[in-house]
Chains A and B, each alone.
Chain A
Amino acid sequence: MSAKKNRRIAVAKTYKIYIGGKFPRTESGRYFTLEDKQGNVIANLCRSSRKDFRNAVVAARKAQPGWAKASAYLRGQILYRTAEMLEGRREQFVAELVLQASTQRAAEQEVDLSIDRLIYFAGWTDKYQQVFSAVNPVNSSHFNFSVLEPTGVVSMLVPDSSSLLGLISNVAPAIAGGNTCIALASESKPLCAVSFAEVLHAADVPGGVVNILTGFRSELTEFFASHMDVNAVIYCDGGKAVAKTVQELAANNIKRVIARSRMDWSGDAENPYLIRDTQEVKTTWHPIGN
């Protein structure tokens, strides 16, 4: 960023939020400042509001049926494409993590794991259904089968510490299963989440499938948990008080509540049960006439 050698002035990036496939600023006009250890300003980020969240839910709801109808093969390819785009921008993400106080080595490791995690869930899109569905041998003359369907719109309070890998480990399984989502980026390390939105955009993830907000967790948690058109809420960390608030508010419309606290995101987060967490089981009966 420095212009020591006086060659040219670097172009700083404006970090915006991601709603419905567009990159607006927060409607509230508010911002918060991210500083490095020395107190230098790294970036001004959008301090998203309740209204931003509501707009994101509208976008996610609108995108959900189309995304759920996309074939498993297509969802897999789009997730794979996301990994490709992230690989191509590897250096940028490493630099952003380092800028947010990560060591070079830890940053490289986190980005590599993030890319691999996208590939991991890309590979599940056309397989989890086969693992988790069932033909049920009922004691009557009916054909009966149970399949998984996405629960719908998922709001996510993703981990603060694992700002890229933690985000991807929550977003990827939800959208692999045909849900759409709204994620609240890490508050202390928000840069990668915004850059990841650009990766999603470049990878042809349809607008509204993933929406990413930056802002204050203490301010936005209640809206993520209480919105009546959100089907499931995932919360990571935050302690007992957050757990209680989220679960209480989620009860207003019987949301599915998924707690992912104290997860080891570098090891613990590769299994299809993370996809199943945001799936519904639908059972269908039909007479077979014998």
Chain B
Amino acid sequence: MATPEYKLAFDGGWEYDPAPESTDHISVRKRYGLFINGEFVAPEKGRYFDTINPANEEKLSRVADASEADVDKAVRAAREAYRTTWGRMKPAERGKYIYRIARIMQERSREFSVIESLDGGKPIRESRDVDIPLAAAHFFYYAGWADKLEYAFPGRSAKPLGVAGQIIPWNFPLLMAAWKIAPALACGNTVVLKPAETTPLTALKLAEVIAEAGLPPGVVNIVTGAGKTGAALVQHPGIDKIAFTGSTNVGRIIQKALAGTNKKYTLELGGKAANIIFADAAIDQAVEGIVNAIFFNQGHVCCAGSRLLVQESVADEVIAKLKDRMETLIVGDPLDKNTDIGAINSMMQLEKIQSYLKIGKAEGAEMHQSSCRLPKRGYWCRPTIFTGVSQSNRVVQEEIFGPVLAIQTFRHHDEAVMKANNTPYGLSGGIWTDKGAKIFKITQSLRAGVIWANTFNKFDPTSPFGGYKESGVGREGGLHGLDAYVKLGAQ
């Protein structure tokens, strides 16, 4: 492990005292059934699986494994609710239900934050300040659209699709549930949602909120399970729309599976975003931006800035400062408020990241990791950078989904753009410079759906999110996110 050339002067001896968030105010049941037709029911085949805390590998709860029969039951409930209640309700009343969800989530935000960090491994600072507030805000934003849809599509009438099947990933469990459910409900659809198998708990807590908000039974159904459950949902003939967030490989399988059906779909898939640092950038801010881009949420972010493109003249300085800054990152207990980087979400993901570390080294890149201590139990990965990589290296082309950054240099902005665009992905990108014209030139040239200029990894309910090329189809968030949940017709 290489040592940084100089260190930030903390004068040594300063240790952060543990500052753990307490868990005594949360309630997690020992076992969860499936949330179908407004109540928790046991799975048909009686199968359950464990959901564990990735920071200590201890079991948190047991969760139902939904079979085809369970999915069928959920879809039928959603169809019935669409036909009898939700689809017929006055839009303004629909909106009021969705506002209720937002308000209850805000009231219970602390509980949600803690459970999110327990089940998924992300630092409490992030679940508290990002995931949960944004999830509530998402419901609040789309609630207001329910009775205003005619203003969103000039010249057209917007009708609901029917029943939406929604499959979400484990990196932002509650936030992704909100991204999916809120616009679907606002547009008058009913929902069957499948959370990721490693992070089902906050979705099940959301089911409680939905019941508490008094939504008619069947409007939102939540079925837990793994890939098989998702496949049953995709293939169910009673579904009108599939919304999926996850890997490009699974997205491709889903797009193929939907071929020949009339199901609408949106896909939010993988990414390999380039974060481009120009010599005229504010370097210290850019270094903070790099850290936020790749180490936010352990790098389990589809739009993570997992490639750094740094202008050659400042490359040494940027990399030295980055290594220095990496040394200060605290990896450890997700519930500790001082923690910067939490636990890797699962053993499977840790193994995948580790295999990429081997691949990177085998391809000739130079690896550097911070020297932080790691807890003994649980799944952990030190913040990692690769230098000396070339465009064709797998760590440059493929999505690792961990705290691993591949660093390349460039001389001219055309070279930066060419390298940035040279992957099959096109989800996001970043640019750091103090020159306005350069910002516009580069942001226009990047083939990606979300571009952060002099910032990174910012999200908002009003801001459309989604990819170009193999990063997906469709947008979520904002006015443009409504499109995924309506069919447009002549007025």
Contact = CB atoms under 8 A, between A and B. Distances in A.
Do A and B bind?
yes
Interface of A: 131, 134, 136-140, 142, 144, 146, 149, 151-152, 231, 240, 243-248, 250-254, 256, 271-273, 280-287
A282 B458 contact: no
B469 A254 contact: yes
Contacts of A248: 256, 259-260
B475 interface: yes
A131 B154 contact: yes
B203 to A, nearest CB: 24
A256 B453 CA distance: 27
B463 A144 contact: yes
Given A251-B256, A253-B424, A254-B469, 6 more contacts: A254-B248, A281-B466, A281-B480, A285-B455, A286-B455, A287-B454
B451 A284 contact: yes
A144 B462 CA distance: 9
A254 B473 CA distance: 7
A138 B460 contact: yes
B148 interface: no
Contacts of A252: 252
Given A138-B463, A146-B464, A247-B259, A254 B480 contact: no
B252 A134 contact: no
B478 interface: yes
A152 B447 CA distance: 10
A254 to B, nearest CB: 5
B478 A146 contact: yes
Given A138-B463, A144-B460, A254-B248, A284 B255 contact: no
Contacts, number: 114
B252 A285 contact: no
Contacts of B453: 284-286
Contact of A146 (B444, B455, B463, B488): B463
Residue of A140, A144, A272 with most partner-chain B CB within 10 A:
A144
A134 B478 contact: yes
A281 B454 CA distance: 20
Interface in B153-167: 154-156
A246 B452 CA distance: 35
A157 to B, nearest CB: 15
Nearest to A143: B453
Contacts of A271: 155-156
Contacts of A272: 155
Contacts of B251: 254
Contacts of B350: none
Contact of A139 (B137, B155, B256, B424): B137
A281 to B, nearest CB: 5
B322 interface: no
A136 B464 contact: yes
